[in-house]
Amino acid sequence: MPLIQPPPPAPKMVTITVRMKQDDLCCLQAYEAYSGSPTHSYVIVGSLERLYEQDSAFIAWRDAHPNFSTDKKARRNGSPKRPTKATTSVAALSSAVAAAEAASITSRAEV
Tens digit of each residue's pLDDT (9 = 90 or more) over 27-70: 999 999 999 998 899 999 999 999 999 999 999 999 999 888 87
Mean pLDDT for the stretch of residues 89-101: 64
Answer whether residue 73 shows pLDDT above 70. no
- Please give, one letter per residue, the 3-state secondary structure of the chain: CCCCCCCCCCCCCCCCCCCCCHHHHHHHHHHHHHHCCCCHHHHHHHHHHHHHHHCHHHHHHHHHCCCCCCCCCCCCCCCCCCCCCCCCCHHHHHHHHHHHHHHHHHHHHHC
Model-wide pTM > 0.85? no
Domain boundaries defined on the chain: 20-66
Name the average pLDDT for the chain.
80
